[in-house]
């Protein structure tokens, strides 16, 4: 009995990052963000489209300019109004302790 080798080629899924969403969330144009972090606007465009990679240093600079954590740029869409973090960020800092207590009460009621 002969063996048949099947070769398939799967395209690796493109990682989805949220550079553009964070830029828009903070109200910057590509040119404005580029100037803040010291790169060109086309570089920001290529980064947002996935045509250009990034270094840890670039990620840190973007996060600082966009007032978020580097991980936020990779995993969190700030424009998703239904996400828990979007709700949390809209709660005034002085009311967050109360919000936590309400959430604890809901979790105990389950």
| pLDDT tens per residue, range 40-94 | 999 999 999 999 999 999 999 999 999 999 999 999 999 998 888 778 878 899 9
User: Are 23 and 57 in a shared domain?
Assistant: yes
User: Are 65 and 21 in a shared domain?
Assistant: yes
User: Are 84 and 72 in a shared domain?
Assistant: no
User: Are 71 and 105 in a shared domain?
Assistant: no
User: Are 29 and 66 in a shared domain?
Assistant: yes
In the 3-class helix/strand/coil scheme, how is the chain assigned residue by residue?
CCCCCCCCCCCCCCCCCCHHHHHHHHCCCHHHHHHHHCCCHHHHHHHHHCCCCCCHHHHHHHHHHCCCCHHHHHHCCCCCCCCHHHHHHCCCHHHHHHHHHHHHHHHHHC
Within-domain flag for 107: yes
User: Are 57 and 92 in a shared domain?
Assistant: no
Statement: the pTM of the whole predicted model exceeds 0.85: no
Question: Which domain, by its residues, includes 32?
Answer: 13-77
User: Are 66 and 90 in a shared domain?
Assistant: no
pLDDT at 5: 54
């Amino acid at each position: 009995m002969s063996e048949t080798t099947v070769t398939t080629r799967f395209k690796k899924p493109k990682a989805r990052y949220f550079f553009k969403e964070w830029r828009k969330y903070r109200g910057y144009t590509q040119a404005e963000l580029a100037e803040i972090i010291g790169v060109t606007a086309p570089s920001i465009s290529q980064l947002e489209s996935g045509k250009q990679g990034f270094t840890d240093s670039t990620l840190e600079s973007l996060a600082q300019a966009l007032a978020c954590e580097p991980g936020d740029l990779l995993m969190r869409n700030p424009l998703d109004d239904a996400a828990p973090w979007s709700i949390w960020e809209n709660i005034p800092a002085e009311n967050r302790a109360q919000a936590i207590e309400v959430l604890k009460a809901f979790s105990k009621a389950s």
